[in-house]
Amino acid sequence: MLLEVTTKAAQQIRYQAKQNRTEGMPLRIAAKRNPDGSLHYGMGFDDTGRNDDTTFKTAGIDVVISPMSLDLLSDTVLDYVQLDDGKYEFIYLNPNDPNYKPPEEEK
């Protein structure tokens, strides 16, 4: 699996695309390794595709990833969750990130 977008994340991405009038544009997701080994993520709507980009569809969202980010994002899940303080945020569940902790199973 390259990268998976959850249903909740896809709903929020579509909502933001509508709000920003960027409907129909693919979502570019990027990652780079920080000096301490952790990963820094970025995403935004991008219609300037490059020939060496990897493009695919997940949860109805067109996603674009550059070759530099591809290995870092392999097997990542992009989710949209409510945090403890009641705010919602996109999170990257990425086994390639040294700070990644798998979510605890709900009982």
The pLDDT tens digits of the residues spanning 66-88 come to 999 999 999 999 999 998 888 99
**Any domain includes 105:** no
**Any domain includes 104:** no
- The pLDDT value given to residue 106: 52
How many distinct structural domains can be found in the chain? 1
Backbone angles phi and psi of 33, in degrees to 5: -85, 130
3 and 66 Cβ atoms separated by less than 8 Å:
no
- The pLDDT value given to residue 47: 81
Range of the domain at 15: 3-93
- The pLDDT value given to residue 105: 58
**Any domain includes 102:** no
Please indicate, yes or no, whether the overall pTM of this predicted structure exceeds 0.75.
yes
> Which CATH number covers residue 21?
2.60.300.12
Reduced to 3 states (helix: H, G, I; strand: E, B; else coil), residue 13 is: helix
**Any domain includes 98:** no
**Any domain includes 79:** yes
Q: How far apart are CA 91 and CA 41, in angstroms?
A: 10
**Any domain includes 106:** no
